[in-house]
Each structure stands twice: as structure tokens, then as C-alpha cells.
Amino acid sequence: MGGQRIVVVGASLAGFRAAEELRTAGHDGPITVVGDEPHAPYERPPLSKQVLAGTQPPAATAIHPATGSIDDLALDFRLGASATGLDLAARTVLLGGGDRLPYDGLVIATGASARRLPGTDHLAGVHTLRTLDDCLALRAELEGAPRRVAVVGAGFIGAEVAATCRGMGLDVSLIEALPVPLERGLGPQMGAVMADLHRDHGVDVRLGVGVVRIDGEERAERVRLTDGTVLDVDVVVVGIGVTPNTDWLEGSGLTLDNGVVCDETCLAAPGVVAAGDVARWPNATFDEVMRVEHWDNAIAMGAHAARTLLAGPEGAEAFAPVPWFWSDQYDRKVQLAGRAGADDDVEVVSGSVEERRFVAFYGRSGRVVGVLGMNQPAKVARWRSLVEQRTAWDDALAIAGAAA
């Protein structure tokens, strides 16, 4: 695609890494990066950790290229600009102000947006956490020493916000409709371990209950739960998952189904690739069509999608990684390489759950599919290869046993 025009929609992690890879691979044509946030690309993980806690300034989240400066990449950034439509036949992206951006190759990297709790938009004090601006607004409220913070939803964002708030000395209730925190990410057994971790740190953990409504005149004052409990609160943080940002692609002809549906090479249509939180694709390593909301995947998939665009349909390779994420909660680093499902076999192969320092394997259909570590980064890194190699469950347990 030498000399041809590439448009990247989404000026965040996947979009930026795609643009960087295009340059690294030698693409010398114009690259336009469109982003609806006003900020240059930045990292989101510190928004629920260091930046929220006030131990890192917002500027520290800036994303930098692996070598050189961002200017060296010669990207034409259109920040504060929304893509509102895609004309596949004319190979043109439509922008909010009426501008049209013709392209020869398109990277879709519009990520996802935090889901909101219905009926709360008019209430001050109710927050979601996806963007830097969300983080700064929440941080400002936490600095006001609220009496109690209610975190609704104990997925990774909710659990990290609860941990950060406890680190600031605030009273926290963590409310989850499922029986354990992080059930979708870690399954019921390890979710229960995470519930205990939060209880150890003084969080009021409320499981198996939903929110009926949030009461208040102008700002949130009380959270009413399905078990009849009423919690007095000053701040509510809603962490109930995300929705992939595909509205602007409705009617474009792309297949949209919980994300932009791609083939195994990240190709969504001729000359169009997708990457990061917005993309769904068949990952051959797991025989599964997946959409992955992890930092590592946004980087790897952004770069892979860029290579697919440059290679064309004949030369493109399958994207079949072992997904990997980490989460920092209190003084624990939780890492998962691979997948973890509710019905998987789970076996602790090193350390102990009681010490909150262990490795557990997840097994499915006779092979190891996930390696979870709590404060065991070296072992997660070592045993990740067992998932990559689709190692049989018994063999994986034997390998871990021999290393113990």
C-alpha cells in the first residue's frame, strides 16, 4: 500500500499502535488518525490505579512510540473529531462536521464505552470510568472525602476502583449482582478468592444483589438494593461493563455483532481491518470467536491489523494470540494468560490461596486454557507457553508439579 492513504479511526491504544506499525513496516503514504477525545493518545490502566489515587499525574499516561518521538511518525491527527459514518463502496469515512476522508486502507479502533445505570444521568455523584476526563472528575469527588463510595459492579474496573478508594482511606461498598466478584473474568472459584481479598481490606462486599435505584435530589444520596438494603452514599461508581463503539458503522455493510466482526486475520471488509476492544474475530488457538478488552491485546491486534492491511488478503496471517491481562488491587498483582470460564476445571498448582500468592491452571476439554497468578509474575510468564502450545491438562499439571 506504499503511498496510499490510510485512515485510522480511534486515537487510543490500538489505533496508535496500528499507525506506528504501519510506519515501522515502511508505509510512507499519509496516515490520518481520527479521535473523538480532545487528548493525544493515552494509557487507560492508570485511570483506575495511580492517576485515580493521585500518585501519578495525568501527563504520565501519554502513549509514546517504541523509538523516537510521536512527531517522527508523521501522523495527521484529527482530535476532537467523531467519525459518524462509513461509505464502504466509496471508501470514505464521514466526520461529524461534514468532512469526508477518503481512504485506501481503514483501521477501525474505536474501542468501547462504559455502560451507564439507566435513570441516573441527571444525578451528580454517579460516575463511570473509561476516559481521562472521567478519571479526573471522579478523582475530584474522592478528594472531597465522601462518607461512602458505592461501587456498582465488581468486574476489573469496579474491583480496582474499590481497592484504590480503600487505599485513600475511604469507606467502600462493592455491589455485585453475581455470586462473586470477577466471575466472568476468573470463574466462581477464583472470584471467591477475590471477594475475600476485598473483605480483608475492609470493603463492604455485597454479592448476589442488584441496584433497584439511586435516590437523591440533585446528587446521589442513597443506593437501594434488591435485598431491601439502603446505603447512604456520596459517590457512586458504576462498573457494569462496556459496549463496543460501533454506532457510527450501523448500515455500513460491515457485520456488527457485539463488535466489528473480522476474519482470522483482522480483516472486516476489503481494505478494512479492526483491532482492540471493538473487534471480534475467530482465535484459532482457542477455537473461539472472541472480543478481548485487554491492554496487551489492543497493542498486539493493532499491530497485526496494520500488517494485514499492508499484506493484502493473499499475504495476511491469522491472529491467534493467548490473551493476557493484569490487574492491580491493593498489593496484589493478578495476571491471567489465556481464558477462564465458569465451567473450567481449576487447580492451584503453586503457592496457596490463603497466602494470596499462587498460580492456578484452568482446564477445558482436556487441555490447559488459562494460567492465573496472584503475585507470581515469573510463573505466569513461564507457564503461558503451556496454553500457547495447547498442552494436555494432565501434562500441564505434571509439568507444574515437577517444578514445585
Ligand X SMILES: Cc1cc2nc3c(=O)[nH]c(=O)nc-3n(C[C@H](O)[C@H](O)[C@H](O)COP(=O)(O)OP(=O)(O)OC[C@H]3O[C@@H](n4cnc5c(N)ncnc54)[C@H](O)[C@@H]3O)c2cc1C
Q: Which residues bind ligand X (CB under 6 A)?
A: 9-15, 34-37, 44-45, 47-48, 82-83, 109-112, 129-130, 157, 245, 248, 276-278, 293-296, 298, 325-327
Give, as one character, the DSSP assignment of residue 44: S
Q: Measure CA of the first residue to CA of the last residue in the chain; give whole Å.
A: 51
- Rounded to a whole number of angstroms, the minimum distance from the CB of residue 110 to ligand X is 4
CB of 129 to ligand X, least distance (A): 5
34 vs 178, beta carbon nearer ligand X: 34
Instruction: Give the residue with the Cβ less far from ligand X, 34 or 349.
Output: 34
Which of residues 225 and 256 has its CB atom nearest to ligand X in the complex? 256
358 — phi, psi (to 5°)?
A: -160, 170
How wide is the angle at C-alpha 398 spanned by C-alphas 394 and 404, nearest 5°?
145
- Cell numbers at residue 36, please? 473523538
**Nearer CB in complex with ligand X: 34/368:** 34
Minimum distance, C-beta of residue 41 to ligand X, in the bound complex (Å): 8
Q: Are the beta carbons of 22 and 48 closer than 8 angstroms?
A: no
Q: Which residue has the cell 448500515?
A: 251
Task: Work out the angle at residue 358's Cα, subtended by the Cα atoms of residues 173 and 393, and round it to the nearest 5 degrees.
Answer: 115
Cβ closest to ligand X, residue 37 vs residue 231:
37
How long, in residues, is the chain?
A: 404
Nearer to ligand X, 35 or 271 (CB): 35
Helix (H) or strand (E) holding 92: strand 92-95
Shortest distance in whole angstroms from residue 276 CB to ligand X: 2
Residue number with CB closer to ligand X (327 or 391): 327
Nearest distance from C-beta of residue 119 to ligand X, angstroms: 23
HSE (side-chain half, CA atoms, 13 Å) at 342? 7
Instruction: Please choose, from the candidates 67, 48, 65, 46, the residue with its C-alpha nearest in 3D space to the C-alpha of residue 57.
Output: 46
* Distance in Å, CB of 111 to ligand X, minimum: 2
CA 174 to chain centre: 20
- Nearer to ligand X by C-beta: 196 or 328? 328
Least spacing, CB of residue 26 vs ligand X, in Å: 23
Distance of closest approach, residue 96 Cβ to ligand X, in angstroms: 8
Rounded Cα distance between 212 and 228, Å, is: 9
CA-CA distance, 215 to 219, in Å (whole number)? 8
Continuous H helices in 168-272: 183-200
Q: 325 or 330: whose CB is closer to ligand X?
A: 325
8 A C-beta contact, residue 238 and residue 127: yes
Of 231 and 240, nearer to ligand X (C-beta) is: 240
DSSP 8-state class, residue 256: B
Catalogue the E-assigned strands of 247-353.
260-261, 267-269, 272-274, 279-283, 288-290, 324-329, 332-338, 345-352
**Closest approach of ligand X to the CB of residue 160, in Å:** 7
- Give me the residues paired with residue 363 across strands: 345, 368
Shortest reach from residue 9's CB to ligand X, in Å: 5
Amino acid at 113: S
